[in-house]
Amino acid sequence: MKAQRPKENRRLALATAPLVLFLLLFFAYPVARLCVLSFADPEGPLASYARLLSVPAYRAGLMATFGISSLVTILSVLCAYPVAYLMASVRPRLAALLGLCVLLPFWTSSLVRTTAWIILLQRYGVINSLLLHAGLIRSPISFIYNLSGVLIGMTHVLMPFVVLPLYSAFRGLDRSQLDAAEGLGGSWLKIIGRLVLPLTSRAACSGAAIVFMSALGYYVTPALMGGARETMAAQLIAFNVEDQLDWPMAGAFSSIIVAASVMIFACAQRLSGPGGLFGSPVKATQATRSDVAIRRSPLDWGVAACGAALLFFLILPLLIIAPMSFGASPFMSFPPEHLTWRWYHQVFTRPQWRAALWNSLQIGMIAVTGATILGSLAAIGLDALRGRVRTAAEMLIIMPMIAPAIALAIGLYYEFAPLHLLSGHWGLGLGHIVLASPFVFIAVRSALQRFDPTLLDAATGLGAGPLRVTYRVLLPAIAPGVAAGAIFAFVTSFDDVVLALFLTDVRSRTLPRLIYENVSQDINPTVAVASTLVALATLLVLSINLLLTKSKS
């Protein structure tokens, strides 16, 4: 791509324009207009911000947002280190299996995982029942509807964002340096403090930045697992729109969390070095690629055991939710005493569940088609851009992954309501294209980095025109990346809750929205069934992607 002539560069640069224009229209403009609304208060342009600081509930919500986000970030980093170290210190086949334990929850719907944690942690849930039967406690412990529930749920959802870059950093460590330090008499505590932590700090900071930015706009987990004291900014934004019709106040909260996200993202991009937050992973050294597992000290074994326990923590909700969906009792219990297909029959025969599933599939197809075309074109054309234009375009494309989903949802709701786009599939479909396009862009960019650009020059030199070169040479080479991006786009659309809550009505609501509504009222076996189906659909799609990747390699 770098060898393209100036005229061809200009032609390629145009491929980035459709996604950039789309995001300007359906992402940047709605979010910016929502932020501008914060200055439209009848009492004055800064009245909303003054009220945000003076009203105790708003001030407490803002403090809770940054406080909980900080705690979740710290917990995610602390928990990610043992997991990443364990994955990097075992044989490749076992590392692949452990990586699967991280990736399965990572790509499984956060709503499904939150639902599973509610079942596990509720007053007479699985964990309290086990503790009571074991005689370890006399009365149930309040694990949820308080700070502990929010921290458990959010850490479980966001911890993989730190595990993955840390694993890459550990794989890049030169094992001979650690062996030399140990041979010179250094204790493992000194080795960790003076070698491991400094060499992995950049990856940890990158993951922590992603976790903190994501936590700032979190909505589902605090709403379902938190109490009044754990009300966060996303919930207050929704409250001011749905109950108070106070758009300036919603805009003020949105402005603060969007500004914080952008500043953290800009700083993290600069500190992350080449490739930024979403750059290519560090390549493993020969020592860490060996098929021989490393020799472990007692401390090393302790870290590995801690990592194994945390991996079990990651997959626990998936292990619980499916068996409970087969329980014959109308009350959730684990393990189920009797098995039945009754609840599955209800889900597939009730019109509301069938309609919600069909809506999710239709909207997913809209998202996949739009995001795959726009994201792939943008990835192909980005190399033709130079300087600040390229930086600005790349940042705009990545920003939907960083900006709080609640701000996008409210911004699109404000724009789509007058256009009557909230009663069908297209309003939410356009929103999902915004969310999914960055995943396609990153997947195709990764495929392009492995592509030899001299093949294009060779084909052109042999007389092939631009279209023939594209269809015969470029597209077949990046097809695995396009397929992976399309799969990630479908998963992103199929799992979304926040946009679905605001951009659909009763007739067009999706399966995740229907699950959310049922969980908010009362958890019953049909919710476990629907959650299991969403998880299985996600795993099926990701398995297809894995098989396609292996067949192309």
Q: Supply the range of the domain harboring residue 434.
A: 1-36+340-553
307 and 436 both lie in a single domain:
no
Instruction: List Cβ neighbours of 344 (8 Å cut-off, separation of 6 or more).
Output: 325, 529
Q: Is residue 26 within 8 Å of 430, Cβ to Cβ?
A: yes
321 and 458 both lie in a single domain:
no
Whether residue 334 lies inside any domain: the answer is no
Whether residue 135 lies inside any domain: the answer is yes
Phi then psi for 333, rounded to 5 degrees? Answer: -150, 150
Domain end, chosen from 262, 294, 325, is at 325
Instruction: List Cβ neighbours of 103 (8 Å cut-off, separation of 6 or more).
Output: 160, 542
Whether residue 333 lies inside any domain: the answer is no
d(CA 541, CA 553): 19
Q: Considering its fold, how many domains does the chain have in total?
A: 2
**What's the confidence (pLDDT) of residue 244?**
85
CB atoms within 10 A of CB 432: 28
76 and 155 both lie in a single domain:
yes
**What's the confidence (pLDDT) of residue 127?**
86
CA atoms within 13 A on the CB side of 475: 10
Mean pLDDT by 10 residues, the chain (553 residues): 52 85 95 93 90 92 94 94 88 82 77 83 83 84 89 91 88 69 64 76 89 91 87 92 90 93 85 59 43 57 86 86 80 76 84 90 94 92 82 89 90 92 91 94 84 65 62 72 87 89 90 86 78 77 67 55
CATH number, domain containing residue 145: 1.10.3720.10
Q: Residue 284 gets which letter from DSSP? A: P
170 and 261 both lie in a single domain:
yes
Domain end, chosen from 296, 325, 354, is at 325
Question: Which two tokens mark 102?
Answer: 């991280």
Whether residue 332 lies inside any domain: the answer is no
321 and 345 both lie in a single domain:
no
100 and 186 both lie in a single domain:
yes
> H/E element holding 426?
helix 426-449
Instruction: Give just the sign of the alpha carbon dihedral 381, 384, 388, 391.
Output: positive
272 and 357 both lie in a single domain:
no
Q: Is residue 159 within 8 Å of 165, Cβ to Cβ?
A: no
Whether residue 106 lies inside any domain: the answer is yes
Whether residue 259 lies inside any domain: the answer is yes
349 and 390 both lie in a single domain:
yes
384 and 239 both lie in a single domain:
no
3-state secondary structure of 245: coil
d(CA 528, CA 115): 8
Domain end, chosen from 291, 325, 359, is at 325
**What's the confidence (pLDDT) of residue 521?**
76
221 and 125 both lie in a single domain:
yes
Whether residue 419 lies inside any domain: the answer is yes
Whether residue 331 lies inside any domain: the answer is no
3-state secondary structure of 327: strand
Q: Is residue 160 within 8 Å of 113, Cβ to Cβ?
A: no
449 and 469 both lie in a single domain:
yes
149 and 217 both lie in a single domain:
yes
